[in-house]
Amino acid sequence: MQNTAANILRALLSKERLVLGVASGDRPIEYPAFNQNLQDKAALFQDSFYYLKALQRDYPRYQSKFYGATTGTIDLMPKYALKTPMLVTGHSGQSLEWIAEHSDGWLYYPRDFGTLRMVMHQWREALSETRSEWKPFMQSLYADLTADSSTKPSPIHLGFSR
């Protein structure tokens, strides 16, 4: 009963939506751990991206350059009523135009305001060049909060402490 209530609560809170932030990884040790070459990073990302898109369909058939073929005999569950948005994190070895054309949005890293302004301008330009409709630009941020509300904010790696 408790598990069912938790599932119902999650469905109500999220409206059965899931947003995926997808990335290629950036640590050279990650690729050999999965028997892959770092030089294939961009192609691996695109292949995996298209594979995840295919898994949103019922019993998908997909021919992966790296992982072989799905035959339509397996399926990923649960299926959501709405399409699962996929936001590319960073660049993942892709051009900004590819991200604008194929993703549902772009998730970037915290930067100073001047760089953020430039990156957001580049995102709007990429959307325009690919004739894509508006898609969100988001920025991740670490927030290390203290119990003392009088603490002044101070920068930390990829965020702030307060």
pLDDT tens, position by position, 67-108: 888 787 878 777 666 678 899 999 999 999 999 999 999 999
Structure tokens at 96: 């900004």
Backbone angles phi, psi at 134, to 5 degrees: -55, 135
| Long-range residue pairs from 77-80, CB within 8 A, at least 24 positions apart, any chain | 80/16, 80/17, 80/18
H helices of 15-136, in order, are: 30-33, 41-54, 96-102, 113-129
Helix (H, G, I), strand (E, B) or coil at 46: helix
- Bigger pLDDT: 13 vs 99: 99
